[in-house]
Amino acid sequence: MPLTRAAAVLSAAALLTACGGVAEGEDAAQAGDRLDVSVGFYPYAFVSERVGGPDVEVVNLTKPGGEPHDLELTPQQVAALSETDLVVYSKGFQPAVDEAVEQQAADKALDVLTTVELREGEAHDEEEDEGEDEEHGDEGGQDPHVWLDPVRLGTIAVAVAEELADLAPDRADAFRERAAALQAELGELDDELRTGLSSCARQEIVTSHDAFGYLAGAYGLEQVSLAGLSPDDEASSGRLAEVATYARERGVTTIFFEETASPRVAESLAREVGAEAVVLSPLEGAPETGDYLSAMRTNLESLQSALDCT
């Protein structure tokens, strides 16, 4: 982008004139000099903002309150990707973003799913759930909800820092330091989750969509979901009956649903088995208050009360 670069040089020159000198480091991150990072949805906005700090301008392609799986992009959003410096996305999670990246940003996109170890998604009802992975792409049923494991999200933060360091080597140290700090905070969160979920009366979590596999895997929980990897999947009546039996047998007291979807199915199942319907956030959208870390702590409290943890 020669024009942008020329503008950056000009504004740096203007600053020199105006202030009689530019300090190295932080001051270099004036508006014109910021890296533009576009992200598919919230957790990667959180990570990119934390790692990029004042050196980046982050655009979340999923608007607040939007449901990221079935995101549609405007032609303007697609075109804007050709101007961005970096796209952070999950290939196979948001088909519209995949397509836009392919058209506009193939050479400057970080697919976070290449940075961490993936788990296979559960295919619980082959016949009735046919096509359940359409929304989440053709990754062979691999579960893309990696950010719900804080340790994996820390690994992603480090990968984002390396991408940013390549783009702006003069600020590489700052990116790496911020990523290390975030990784440490995520490590603390991981400790809290591990300790907080270590002695519970039950391990079973019944959820509406199959988003919590990484969380369950990390902390010894067993996730049973009503629908598939996408929240738009309709739970079949056969699946509902199956989960109801499971919930009764295991003494499940809580049916979890997510804040961005209708609680209707979860509520009716909860009534049927004498349980309560409670929100467990998959963090696919930005939390109304706080951030990823505080929302995960709220999730921990909900899990502890559902599972009778001491």
Q: Report the SS3 class of residue 254.
A: strand
Enter the tokens of residue 102: 């392919």
Residue 252: which of 231, 263, 266 has the closest Cα? 266
Q: Which is nearer to Zn ion, 66 or 196 (CB)?
A: 66
Q: Which is nearer to Zn ion, 211 or 247 (CB)?
A: 211
Enter the tokens of residue 200: 């519970």
Interface with Zn ion by CB under 5 A: which residues?
A: 211
Enter the tokens of residue 61: 């392609």
Beta-carbon contacts of 250 under 8 Å, excluding residues fewer than 6 positions away, are: 202, 204
Beta-carbon contacts of 297 under 8 Å, excluding residues fewer than 6 positions away, are: 189, 192
Enter the tokens of residue 213: 């596999």
Q: Which is nearer to Zn ion, 55 or 98 (CB)?
A: 98
From residue 310, alpha-carbon distances to 25, 35, 200, 247 in Å are 48, 46, 6, 21
Which residue is at the shortest CB distance from Zn ion?
Answer: 211
Q: How far is the CB of 67 from Zn ion (least distance, A)?
A: 9
Q: Which is nearer to Zn ion, 211 or 300 (CB)?
A: 211
Q: How far is the CB of 165 from Zn ion (least distance, A)?
A: 30
Q: How far is the CB of 161 from Zn ion (least distance, A)?
A: 25
Q: How far is the CB of 66 from Zn ion (least distance, A)?
A: 13
Do residues 91 and 111 touch, judged by C-beta distance below 8 A?
yes
Q: How far is the CB of 206 from Zn ion (least distance, A)?
A: 16
Q: How far apart are CA 235 and CA 255, in angstroms?
A: 14
Q: How far is the CB of 289 from Zn ion (least distance, A)?
A: 21
Q: Which residues pair with 276 in a beta bridge?
A: 254
Q: Which is nearer to Zn ion, 163 or 258 (CB)?
A: 258
Q: Which is nearer to Zn ion, 211 or 235 (CB)?
A: 211
Q: How far is the CB of 209 from Zn ion (least distance, A)?
A: 6
Region for residue 265 given its phi and psi (left: phi exceeds 0; alpha: psi -120 to 50; beta: otherwise): alpha
Q: How far apart are CA 36 and CA 11, in angstroms?
A: 17
Q: How far is the CB of 281 from Zn ion (least distance, A)?
A: 11
DSSP 81-102: TTT-SEEEE-TTT-HHHHHHHH
Q: Which is nearer to Zn ion, 30 or 260 (CB)?
A: 260
CA dihedral 136, 228, 141, 202 (to 10 degrees): 130
Q: Which is nearer to Zn ion, 27 or 125 (CB)?
A: 125
